[in-house]
């Protein structure tokens, strides 16, 4: 969703739902507005490590966390909150180093939680949160935070993916209905639209970024649209399912094989490169996340957004992505839970998601944004409506990071000329199942 500054940013963004900042800095704040120092005998200090969603010091997430800490301090004078904010390029490693050194923070807001949960280092959500807070999480996001049916990961913010299309290119290619751009619903529609765009000399009728940057996301979107996914109903890996094989045969034969995916081979096309081409008016269609809205609008590109067409036009789950909060067992369970209840209050969720064009992870936040009381763009509601029924990465599996890496490395081979989707998917699946046992 050479290295330019924007492309560097996007690579870091892959670890977050839409936009981890490229700031090479760490910032420290406390609930009383001063640098961390000595506390009273009865005072508890909570240490929080969080990721930065801004892209410069002026819009750093530091401001949000300072407001949270200050507000919490007023109602809990015996608790001080110290928050270190790091860029997405370093925050996961910072937390890992702290844990390894025996100095885990009380709370971490990072990209993955399963390793720490499996090692017995995290509180469960029901040990921390008030009942109303825990019940407020949107169901698919809460489920994605579970390891063996027990929730350890708390979703912090979320995003979904939609099909973007260039309205001018559609109109120029005759892809209109009733004076409006024609919206594909099936894969046959998608193929037909791509052919018309190609006939109208659009350089890339459909951008298919299966390069390393975010191949695991593009792969999951297509698997879901084809009736498959990374896992089955029992959450076992099903990467080599018949549905997934047929999906990649379609991509190989109908899109790549007919020259509809542009001049760059999918396995060499990264998402930000595809986004950049879309903002230059060179791409007819591609899958994207909310960040693309701003990028395209800034370049004057008029676009529409619809759910990714499915194999037969029937509704299928959309792909959702979440970033995670977790609480380490540091002996501050009560105070940690109180602060997390504060973090997830509806007004605090809305303040953060509105600032960064993200999606809320709670039912109350969802309702507020859908009612128009939160969010900066009506277009963001299109992403919001896809969130409740979305499917997320199998983040509760310790093996998932390795499987994701395997997909980035190999999935592009499945759609190359002469590629063998069944063989590629089987190899990835076999390795995934083996790693899932350890």
Whole-number Å distance between alpha carbons of 80 and 44: 6
Q: E strands within 134-272?
A: 146-147, 150-151, 154-160, 162-166, 176-177, 180-181, 204-206
pLDDT confidence bin for 50, thresholds 50/70/90: very high
Output the pLDDT for position 373: 53
pLDDT greater than 70 at residue 26: no
pLDDT confidence bin for 248, thresholds 50/70/90: very high
Give the rounded percent of residues in the chain with a pLDDT score beyond 90: 67
Domain over 12-160+322-385 is classified CATH 2.40.128.90: no
Query: 22 φ, ψ to 5°?
Result: -95, 25
Whole-number Å distance between alpha carbons of 23 and 90: 10
Output the pLDDT for position 39: 44
Whether residue 131 contacts residue 125, with contact meaning beta carbons closer than 8 Å, is answered with no
pLDDT greater than 50 at residue 204: yes
Provide mean pLDDT across the span 110-130. Answer: 94
pLDDT confidence bin for 5, thresholds 50/70/90: very low
Q: Is 75 helix (H, G, I), strand (E, B) or coil?
A: helix
Q: E strands within 54-102?
A: 79-86
Same fold for the pair 12-160+322-385 and 162-317+399-436:
yes
Q: Which two tokens stand for residue 419?
A: 């590629």
Output the pLDDT for position 14: 40
Whole-number Å distance between alpha carbons of 280 and 80: 49
Of 116-120, 160-164, 174-178, 197-201, the one with minimum mean pLDDT is 174-178
Give ∠ CA 169-173-179 in degrees, rounded to 5: 85
As beta bridge partners, residue 403 has none
Whole-number Å distance between alpha carbons of 128 and 46: 14
Give the Å distances, CA to CA, from 168 to 253, 274, 287, 308. 27, 18, 17, 19
Whether residue 322 contacts residue 158, with contact meaning beta carbons closer than 8 Å, is answered with yes
Longest Cα separation, the chain = 75
pLDDT (tens digit, 9 = 90+) per residue, 257-269? 999 999 999 999 9
Output the pLDDT for position 224: 97
Whole-number Å distance between alpha carbons of 208 and 341: 41
Whether residue 306 contacts residue 164, with contact meaning beta carbons closer than 8 Å, is answered with no
Output the pLDDT for position 37: 37
Whether residue 48 contacts residue 65, with contact meaning beta carbons closer than 8 Å, is answered with yes
Choice between 366 and 151, residue whose per-residue pLDDT is larger: 151
Whether residue 117 contacts residue 147, with contact meaning beta carbons closer than 8 Å, is answered with yes
Q: Which CATH class is domain 162-317+399-436?
A: alpha beta
Average pLDDT, the chain: 88
pLDDT greater than 80 at residue 28: no
Q: What is the pTM of this model?
A: 0.81
Q: Is 317 helix (H, G, I), strand (E, B) or coil?
A: coil
Buried b / exposed e across 134-154, counting CB within 10 Å, b at 16+? Answer: bebbbebbbebbbbeeebbbb
Which residue ranges make up each domain of the chain?
12-160+322-385, 162-317+399-436
Whole-number Å distance between alpha carbons of 222 and 229: 8
Q: Is 73 helix (H, G, I), strand (E, B) or coil?
A: helix
Q: Name the pairing type of β-strands 180-181 and 204-206.
A: unpaired
pLDDT greater than 90 at residue 80: yes
Output the pLDDT for position 19: 43
Q: Is 88 helix (H, G, I), strand (E, B) or coil?
A: coil
Whether residue 157 contacts residue 359, with contact meaning beta carbons closer than 8 Å, is answered with yes
Whether residue 257 contacts residue 417, with contact meaning beta carbons closer than 8 Å, is answered with yes
State the residue for tokens 């029924």: 389
For residue 331, what is the enclosing H or E element?
none
Which of 344, 396, 348, 346 minimizes the C-alpha distance to 366? Answer: 346
pLDDT confidence bin for 33, thresholds 50/70/90: very low
Whole-number Å distance between alpha carbons of 5 and 196: 34
């Amino acid at each position: 969703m050479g290295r330019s500054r924007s492309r560097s940013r996007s690579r870091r963004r892959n670890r977050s739902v839409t936009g981890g900042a490229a700031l090479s800095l760490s910032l420290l704040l406390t609930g009383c507005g001063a640098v961390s120092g000595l506390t009273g005998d009865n005072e508890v200090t909570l240490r929080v490590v969080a990721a930065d969603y801004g892209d410069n010091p002026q819009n750093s997430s530091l401001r949000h966390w300072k407001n949270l800490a200050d507000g919490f301090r007023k109602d809990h004078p015996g608790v001080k909150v110290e928050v270190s904010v790091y860029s997405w390029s370093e925050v996961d490693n910072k937390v890992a180093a702290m844990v390894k050194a025996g100095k885990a923070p009380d709370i971490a807001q990072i990209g993955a939680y399963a390793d720490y949960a499996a090692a017995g280092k995290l509180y469960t959500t029901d040990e921390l949160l008030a009942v109303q807070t825990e019940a407020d999480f949107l169901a698919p996001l809460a489920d994605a935070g579970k390891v063996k049916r027990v929730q350890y990961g708390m979703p912090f913010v979320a995003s979904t993916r939609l099909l973007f299309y260039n309205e001018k290119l559609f109109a120029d290619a005759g892809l209109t209905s009733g004076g409006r751009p024609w919206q594909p619903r099936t894969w046959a529609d998608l193929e037909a639209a791509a052919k018309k765009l190609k006939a109208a000399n659009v350089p890339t009728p459909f951008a298919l970024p299966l390069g390393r940057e975010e191949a695991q996301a593009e792969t999951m979107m297509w698997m879901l649209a084809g009736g498959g996914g990374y896992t089955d109903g029992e959450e076992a890996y099903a990467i080599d399912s018949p549905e997934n094989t047929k999906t990649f045969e379609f991509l190989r034969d109908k899109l790549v094989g007919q020259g509809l995916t542009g001049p760059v081979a999918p396995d060499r096309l990264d998402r930000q490169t595809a986004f950049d081409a879309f903002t230059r008016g060179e791409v007819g269609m591609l899958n994207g996340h909310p960040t693309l809205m701003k990028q395209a609008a800034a370049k004057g590109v008029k676009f529409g957004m619809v759910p990714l067409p499915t194999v037969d036009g029937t509704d299928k789950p959309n792909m959702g992505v979440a970033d995670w909060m977790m609480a380490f067992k540091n002996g501050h369970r009560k105070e940690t839970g109180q602060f997390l209840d504060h973090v997830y209050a509806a007004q605090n969720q809305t303040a953060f998601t509105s600032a960064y064009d993200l999606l809320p992870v709670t039912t109350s936040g969802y309702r507020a944004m859908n009612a128009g009381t939160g969010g900066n763009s009506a277009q963001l509601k299109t992403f919001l409506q896809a969130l409740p029924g979305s499917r997320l990465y199998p983040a509760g599996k310790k093996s998932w990071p390795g499987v994701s890496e395997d997909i980035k490395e190999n999935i592009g081979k499945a759609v190359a000329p002469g590629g063998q989707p069944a063989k590629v998917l089987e190899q990835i699946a076999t390795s995934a199942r083996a790693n899932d046992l350890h």
